[in-house]
Amino acid sequence: MHKTVLLIAVFGLALPAAAQENDDLGLIPGAVQTAAPPAATAQDRGKYSLANAFGWYGYRGTFAVSPGDAIPSRWNDRVSADALVTWKLSNSLRLTASDVLSASFADGVGFPREAVRNDLRELYATWEVAPETYLETGRINVRNGVAFGYNPTDFFRARTSVAQSSSDPGALRDNRLGTVMIRGQHVFDGGSLELIYAPKLHSPVPIGGLAYPLDPKIDQTNGSDRALASFSFEWEDFSPQILAFYDSGRFKFGFNASHPIGNAVIAYASWAGGNAPDEVVDAIAFGKRTRTLPPTVPLVPTVSPWRSFKSDVSAGAYWNGEDKETISVEYNFHEAGLSQDGWKSWFATGANPQFSSLMWYIRGYAADRQDPASQHQVFLRADWSEPFHILHADLNAYVMTDLTDGSCTGQVGASYDLSDFWSLGGYLSATTGGQRTEWGSLRSSTSAIVQLVRYL
């Protein structure tokens, strides 16, 4: 009952209005990143856009582990309306909201329940209770971490995905559902302190469950009691951040840091660790808890049911060139993911039709939490603004490689501003590898998406 009262109070304060964190600031720990943004001015009224994205999808025909008989549509057309608005009510009070309403059309998609989707990304109030001290309440998108491909300290990323054209991890991080929480921040000279409490407001729903069009998906983002404390500070040329996270009886600790090397290179590292079982164990336990899996489902062979201290690491560097290009190289380690032996067991068990759906459920669980399926990956990314001196154009590309088997997933994207009000973009994606590899075992092989945006 008390949590219901809390939810009503939270959303009673969080009236529609909006602002998003700057993409670049999200890559750097420290006071600048964690501090609440400055109070909105009269010009910060918001951003609105309409978009149409048409996609074509290619699929594989043979598999080492069958993904089932149902074949997704080879085309999809999504129309969306996006709003990002801010209102300044007083010198100390600001209201923020961010929302996107979309409708998808494809073979086999029923209208409206399956086609129409509203994603309330953010809805919260910010109150400056004292100079440089802020209290926020509502649905807030909190992003922590310094990496580009995988951020171990991005503790609120699970179950937050929204429909979008780009599969780039950076786009998934920026455009996602927030979590209902109460957040307090204090900014001081050279650092900041942040405290967050996100209550459990609903029992978690099964993965991939069908939601009503206007469902705010609180049962995804607030399915457990969570709390986070973080401390950021500046130390010479370093920008460290220390974090402590609690989630339903489990504790994790984290650390982020970045450091310039010369004038063009910035090195960064992110670590999180705590007692946890393998992700396979977590996936099966979640499936049983949500009644997606029967209580008699056995563990995959070679997987221990016991908890142990596990670490997640991302370490890399990015280089800024003189012609507005950026290249980043990053190593990702997810200890709870599948090792080489784990993948052998996954394919061997999944070859039995009786267990193939269970194997895909385990991978779906990792994707739903935005965790890597494998223990070891390398992430490469390149961005080029105004390539070949073409004004108002951007190119970007990324490749994620599983070091266990060499398979890859990647995307090439391009956009061009036709005018102040129109933008045209495109994304080409592909997965490569043999049938018994992480990315080569997926049903999806290629995709091409063209997107036209009208800014209002």
Domain boundaries, the chain: 2-455
On the 0-12 / 13-18 / 19+ scale of CB atoms within 10 A, 451 is buried
Predicted pLDDT of residue 155 = 98
Q: How far apart are CA 205 and CA 287, in angstroms?
A: 10
Closest CA to 431 of 53, 56, 59: 59
Terminal-to-terminal C-alpha distance of the chain: 42
Q: Which residue type is seen at 340?
A: Q
- Count CA atoms within 13 Å of residue 339 on its CB side: 8
- Residue 24 per-residue DSSP state: T
Q: Is 437 left (phi over 0), alpha (psi -120 to 50) or beta?
A: beta
Predicted pLDDT of residue 239 = 87
Q: How far apart are CA 362 and CA 128, in angstroms?
A: 44
Question: What would the two tokens of residue 290 be?
Answer: 């949500």
Q: 182-219, pLDDT tens digit by residue?
A: 999 999 998 999 999 999 999 999 998 777 888 999 99
Helix (H) or strand (E) holding 451: strand 444-455
Q: How far apart are CA 441 and CA 409, in angstroms?
A: 11
Please check whether the domain covering 2-455 is classified as CATH 1.10.3720.10: no
Q: How far apart are CA 278 and CA 336, in angstroms?
A: 4
Q: What is the pTM of this model?
A: 0.88
Residue found under tokens 């032996």: 341
Helix (H) or strand (E) holding 393: strand 393-402
Q: 363-417, pLDDT tens digit by residue?
A: 999 999 999 999 999 999 999 999 999 999 999 999 999 999 999 999 999 999 9
Q: Is residue 31 scored above 50 in pLDDT? A: no
> What is the pLDDT confidence band of residue 306, given thresholds at 50, 70 and 90?
confident
Q: How far apart are CA 255 and CA 318, in angstroms?
A: 19
- What proportions of the chain, in percent to the nearest 5, are helix, strand and coil? 15, 45, 40
Q: How far apart are CA 456 and CA 359, in angstroms?
A: 45
Q: 221-245, pLDDT tens digit by residue?
A: 999 999 999 999 988 888 899 999 9
State phi, psi for 147 to the nearest 5 degrees.
-90, 170
Q: Is residue 359 scored above 90 in pLDDT? A: yes
Q: Which of 108-112, 167-171, 420-424 has the lowest mean pLDDT?
A: 108-112
- Residue 406 per-residue DSSP state: -
Q: To 5 degrees, how large is the angle CA 68–CA 70–CA 72? A: 120
Q: How far apart are CA 381 and CA 147, in angstroms?
A: 11
Q: Is residue 324 scored above 60 in pLDDT? A: yes
Q: 127-138, pLDDT tens digit by residue?
A: 999 999 999 999
Closest CA to 180 of 130, 129, 121, 115: 121
